[in-house]
């Protein structure tokens, strides 16, 4: 341990630690706009500067390693004036459209201006008016609001391993853009939305579908159905300032009905349906010499990543649609027929923690004649919709989902966390192979935030090697091992976002690892406390197969629940 003197008080620190983390651990409020926890600091914004005895210049605390005997001042007049000036210079070229900005209530730039008491403009600059990029089905890019902090660039490159955006131009012409400054739709972007959660201002936002939903609700001829993903109910409460790790499903369902949805379904139901198809596909591949390893296909950003960077491994992807698309397909087929509804008059909405789901819903493969899903709302958009409709969910009496798509197992709920799809699939694969449930359905090796996790699972006489990765840079590492000849892995689960869907690009702005861990813990708590823990024990799933689909991998299930992929090779 090292000892520092911070504002005339002794402070302990670890050798090699950055000064910013030490100061924040002491509860000292140090502003920053460029810092990304866990990544190598860049010191780009300079707002975190401090005074260090023996150094004449101001020192960026995010990029300064501590040393024994270091003496630091954090809030001298000189520092306050420097931070104010830096922030004012950033704001001098920033648009004054806060009234219309999606981030006006969560803008870090606006928050810092308030904290530092900036109430007037001292500096003026010539503002450029670059075009709004609305080419992507998932992400809207407004370069005029970019403050060049670089957080989106670093997350896209270092955490996701995609590198769809970077700094382009020089000097005063520097900006963040795509290759050749074209639209996001022609870039290598996989629509994961991690850049949105990293952006401190409104330069990156989701392509909003709220108006689609409101317009549909105004049409009396339409039946409006909505499904909610497993990660949403364990996150939404945070947007109402509830403690993290609170499951608000009951009041959320009540809020959805109050907002105007005719039927509310649980995507956990179709997660169970996905497991029935996916586990059957895995068993079939193992038994019949199919392509191994088999890789999950629930995450649309991951699927596009494979299509772009590893097209030779497309045959390894499960042909199963995602739970969202499966529920959309079943709603507009079996459910429509059962309720004597015209499927063209059903408007199907999905509430997802993911921006890439907007891209997935727009894929031409996702629907026979009409799309499986008509609109996708992120968790953030659901919060906005409630506000627009005057819905206060926590003042409502909790309600249940509509059946039969309201029933799920805890395996289906686990889909929200990294490792959850794998755990759910192994539970049902074990039953399909042995005819018996696992004595202990929990696979502890797959239950944490580690980027890559592996396990050997014994199923009868078989021993299956499984691997799980979250964050696409980790997926790249695993796939490169497979390409180099690794043969001991039979089943791979990939989730595009760190921690899984609970850390998705449609979750609350600024989601941190601690919040993701809390949401993960809550999903594990639900799995521990509820009784139906296996997808194949969901009685509504059994009814669906008995009355409509026949059996997993049947012709009808292949038509409705499975899909195909395309080669989207881009320059590596």
Of the residues 51, 238, 278, 493, which is catalytic? 278
Of the residues 281, 307, 381, 493, which is catalytic? 281
3-state SS assignment for residue 93: coil
Give the H or E element holding residue 196: helix 194-198
Nearest to 351 by CA among 317, 315, 393: 393
Q: How far apart are CA 415 and CA 233, in angstroms?
A: 13
Active site residue 187: no
Q: How far apart are CA 539 and CA 535, in angstroms?
A: 9
Q: Which two tokens stand for residue 519?
A: 């949401």
> Rounded to 5, what percent of the chain is helix, strand, coil?
40, 15, 45
Question: Is residue 416 within 8 Å of 390, Cβ to Cβ?
Answer: no
Of the residues 136, 318, 322, 557, which is catalytic? 318
Active site residue 316: no
Active site residue 244: no
3-state SS assignment for residue 57: coil
Neighbouring residues of 318: CB distance < 8 A, sequence distance ≥ 6: 278, 281, 282, 294, 295, 296, 297
Of the residues 107, 298, 320, 354, which is catalytic? 298
Q: What is the 3-state secondary structure (H, E, C) of 454-495?
A: EEEEEECCEEEEEEEEECHHHHHHHHHHHHCCCCCCCEEEEE
The gap from C-alpha 37 to its chain's centroid, in whole angstroms, comes to 17
Q: How far apart are CA 57 and CA 63, in angstroms?
A: 14
Query: Which residues in 227-236 are b (16+ Cβ under 10 Å) and which e?
Result: bbbbbbbbbb
Return phi, psi of residue 51, to 5°.
-100, 130
Of the residues 145, 332, 357, 358, which is catalytic? 357
Strand locations in 391-459 (E): 452-459
Of the residues 423, 501, 515, 557, which is catalytic? 501
Q: How far apart are CA 541 and CA 196, in angstroms?
A: 36
3-state SS assignment for residue 301: helix
**For residue 90, how many other CB atoms are within 10 A of its CB?**
21
Of the residues 17, 365, 445, 537, which is catalytic? 365
Strand ordering across the sheet containing 452-459:
294-295, 491-495, 462-470, 452-459
Strand ordering across the sheet containing 263-266:
263-266, 223-228, 346-352, 375-378
Q: How many Å is the maximal CA-CA distance in the chain?
A: 80
Active site residue 81: no
Give the H or E element holding residue 395: none
Alpha helix ranges (H) inside 292-355 = 300-309, 323-330, 336-338
Q: How far apart are CA 70 and CA 177, in angstroms?
A: 40
Active site residue 64: no
Of the residues 206, 360, 381, 423, which is catalytic? 360
The number of CA neighbours under 13 Å toward the Cβ of 122 is 11
Active site residue 318: yes
Active site residue 365: yes
Q: Which two tokens stand for residue 558?
A: 């292949």
Q: Active-site residue numbers?
A: 278, 281, 298, 318, 357, 360, 365, 501
């Amino acid at each position: 341990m090292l000892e520092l003197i911070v504002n005339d008080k002794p402070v302990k620190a670890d050798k090699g630690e950055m000064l910013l983390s030490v100061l924040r651990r002491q509860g000292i409020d140090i502003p920053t706009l460029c810092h990304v926890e866990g990544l190598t600091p860049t010191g780009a914004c300079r707002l975190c500067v401090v005074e260090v005895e023996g150094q004449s210049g101001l020192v960026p605390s995010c990029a300064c390693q501590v040393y024994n005997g270091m003496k630091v001042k954090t809030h001298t007049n000189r520092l306050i004036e420097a931070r104010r000036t830096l922030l004012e210079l950033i704001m001098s070229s920033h648009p004054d459209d806060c009234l219309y900005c999606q981030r006006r209530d969560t803008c870090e730039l606006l928050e810092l201006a308030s904290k530092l008491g900036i109430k007037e403009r001292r500096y003026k600059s010539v503002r450029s008016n670059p075009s709004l990029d609305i080419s992507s089905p998932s992400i809207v890019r407004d370069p005029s609001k970019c403050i060049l902090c670089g957080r989106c660039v670093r997350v896209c490159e270092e955490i996701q391993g995609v590198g769809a955006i970077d700094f382009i131009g020089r000097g005063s012409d520097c900006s963040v853009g795509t290759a050749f400054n074209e639209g996001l739709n022609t870039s290598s972007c996989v629509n994961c939305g991690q850049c949105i959660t990293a952006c401190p201002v409104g330069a990156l936002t989701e392509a909003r579908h709220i108006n689609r939903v409101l317009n549909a609700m105004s049409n009396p001829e339409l039946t409006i159905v909505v499904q909610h993903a497993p990660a949403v109910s364990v996150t939404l409460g945070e947007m109402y300032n509830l403690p993290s790790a609170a499951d608000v499903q009951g009041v959320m369902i009540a809020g959805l009905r109050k907002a105007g949805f005719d039927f509310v379904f649980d995507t956990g139901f179709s997660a169970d349906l996905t497991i029935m198809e996916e586990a059957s596909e895995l068993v079939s591949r193992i038994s019949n010499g199919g392509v191994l390893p088999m890789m999950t296909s629930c995450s649309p950003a991951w699927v596009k990543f494979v299509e772009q960077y590893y097209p030779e491994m497309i045959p390894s992807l499960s042909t199963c649609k995602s739970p969202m698309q499966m529920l959309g397909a079943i709603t507009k087929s079996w459910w429509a027929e059962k309720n004597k509804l015209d499927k063209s008059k059903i408007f199907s909405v999905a509430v997802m923690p993911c921006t890439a789901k907007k891209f997935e819903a727009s894929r031409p493969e996702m629907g026979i004649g009409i799309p499986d899903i008509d609109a996708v709302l992120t968790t953030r958009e659901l919060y906005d919709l409630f506000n627009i409709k005057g819905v206060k969910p926590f003042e409502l009496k909790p309600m249940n989902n509509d059946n039969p798509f309201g029933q799920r197992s805890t395996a289906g709920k686990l889909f929200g966390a990294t490792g959850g799809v794998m755990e759910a699939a192994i539970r049902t694969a074990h039953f399909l192979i042995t005819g018996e449930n696992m004595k202990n359905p929990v696979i502890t090796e797959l239950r944490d935030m580690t980027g890559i996790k592996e396990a050997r699972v014994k199923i009868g006489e078989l021993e299956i090697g499984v691997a799980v990765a979250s964050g696409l840079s980790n997926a790249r590492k695993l796939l490169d091992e497979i390409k180099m000849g690794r043969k001991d892995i039979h089943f791979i689960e990939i989730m595009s976002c760190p921690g899984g869907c609970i850390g998705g690009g449609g979750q609350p702005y600024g989601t941190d690892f601690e919040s993701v861990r809390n949401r993960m813990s809550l999903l594990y708590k639900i799995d521990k406390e509820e009784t139906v823990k296996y997808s194949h024990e969901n009685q509504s799933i059994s009814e669906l197969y008995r009355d409509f689909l026949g059996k997993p991998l049947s012709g009808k299930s292949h038509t409705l629940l499975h899909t195909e992929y395309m080669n989207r090779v881009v320059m590596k």
